[in-house]
Amino acid sequence: MRVVVLGGGLAGVFTGYFLREAGFKVVGVGGELAYPLTSLVLTLSMPFREDVELARRSLEIYRRFVEPKEVTSVDILPRLVDLSRLETPHEVTDRVKGLRLSSDEMAVITRDYLIPVRRVVTHLRRELGFTDSYGFLKVKDGKAFVVADGRRIEGDVVVLAAGHRNRMLAREAGIDLPLEPYECYAVLYIAGRRMWRYSVGDYVLGWYGRPAAPPLYVAGDGCGRYGQGPPPNYVKRLTALLRQRGARVFPLYLKIGYCEVGPHGGPLYGRHPAAENLYVIGGFNGYGSMVGPALAERLARLIGGNGVEDVYRLERHFDVASFNPCEVAERHDWGAVLLRNV
Ligand SMILES: Cc1cc2nc3c(=O)[nH]c(=O)nc-3n(C[C@H](O)[C@H](O)[C@H](O)COP(=O)(O)OP(=O)(O)OC[C@H]3O[C@@H](n4cnc5c(N)ncnc54)[C@H](O)[C@@H]3O)c2cc1C
């Protein structure tokens, strides 16, 4: 059996990896490698049990390739938030060295993991033979195939895994997807020593941050319309939020990133009804390194005939024609989910 994977990010390479383990021949059309040199953060401090389960599994999968680096996770929340959903071991405190908290706030301390995603994806692209080409998805007579480098590439199975370009590629093939792309932003800072060990989710002021190689620190927030660019004074505003917390930071560089989300604020995977051999995986929004490898494993099982029913299945979300990605509460985000209960 032969699978053609369109897209060479986390979703594509891990789907290829697990399908190859299941005996498939993998043909990967990968596009450009999209990841920064700095690591992405994997946290287990998320409000939904299903997401934490995926993140735990992803961590086990990464350990086949790299040893993730542990850092202190600091989630800042209003004091009244109910933490009973938080299953991972944690400590609740009102004092964190180097960060300023007010009397109605608490810090939830857990452990996060820094994953050198670029290294892992580069390794798998090479091992699986992904090309850097860009391709098009085509659907004809109920069968999907890919066109790349002027060639028609056919497979028993075709997997669309092109990140924020999924929806556009599907539309060009004349089919729809319940996924929406959006812009997200991150700023690279020089930071004071205290910040070097903190992975922060500040759900009161609304920013996240994680250490890069000292003295560098990456922070970001927000959601913007696809193709529009960051709002005016974005860096100034974000820097002011970090400094309000007492962080000593100096901005160096603003990066515009592209993400994608499903209508339930999380990722989707499954078979697309438009073609008998077409499968899709995407919508990883801000937590692809947490859910990506584990969901790719589930997709590979589904393709192999051993699928499970879960909240991420594409088939469950086809009734949503379109939605505003910036108004969706992202599943991994305590702020979006729990603050409603305060
Ligand atoms: C600034 C920023 C910071 C982030 N930080 C974190 C973090 O700390 N932790 C975390 O878990 N997540 C983080 N994320 C989110 C994470 O990067 C994404 O969830 C994840 O990369 C999505 O994986 P993907 O494989 O679906 O898509 P992508 O990573 O976008 O990969 C898609 C791939 O498809 C390729 N492609 C596109 N079109 C085509 C085509 N036509 N033909 C062939 N190939 C194509 C692209 O070149 C790319 O290689 C961050 C995102 C951004 C933007």
pLDDT band of residue 342 (cuts 50, 70, 90) is very low
Region 119-131: mean pLDDT is 98
CATH for 113: 3.50.50.60
Region 212-237: mean pLDDT is 93
Region 240-251: mean pLDDT is 97
Region 41-70: mean pLDDT is 96
Check residue 14 and give its pLDDT.
98
d(Cα 314, Cα 6) in Å, to the nearest integer? 17
Q: Are the C-beta atoms of 210 and 114 separated by less than 8 Å? A: yes
Does any ligand 1 atom lie closer than 6 A to the CB of residue 98? no
Encoding tokens for residue 334? 């305590």
DSSP per-residue string spanning 172-199 = HTT---S-EEEEEEEEEEEE-GGGGGEE
Q: Which atom of ligand 1 is the closest one to the Cα of 163?
A: 27
Look at the chain and report how many structural domains it folds into. Answer: 1
Region 75-90: mean pLDDT is 88
Question: Strands of 25-29's sheet, edge to edge?
Answer: 25-29, 2-6, 157-160, 278-282, 268-271
pLDDT band of residue 71 (cuts 50, 70, 90) is very high
Indicate if the pLDDT at residue 84 is higher than 90: no
Other C-beta atoms closer than 10 Å to the C-beta of 128 total 21
Per-residue pLDDT tens over the stretch 203-220: 999 999 999 999 999 999
Per-residue pLDDT tens over the stretch 24-42: 999 999 999 989 889 999 9
CA of 329 to the centre of ligand 1 (A): 19
Three-state secondary structure call for residue 295? helix
pLDDT band of residue 107 (cuts 50, 70, 90) is very high
Check residue 77 and give its pLDDT.
93
Max CA pair span of the chain = 63
Is the pTM higher than 0.85? Answer: yes
CA of 79 to the centre of ligand 1 (A): 34
Region 232-256: mean pLDDT is 96
- In terms of residue numbers, what domain contains 259? 2-341
Indicate if the pLDDT at residue 340 is higher than 70: no
Check residue 11 and give its pLDDT.
98
- The mean pLDDT of the chain is 94
Q: Which atom of ligand 1 is the closest one to the Cα of 185?
A: 1
Per-residue pLDDT tens over the stretch 284-319: 999 999 999 999 999 999 999 999 999 999 999 988
CA of 286 to the centre of ligand 1 (A): 9
d(Cα 5, Cα 160) in Å, to the nearest integer? 6
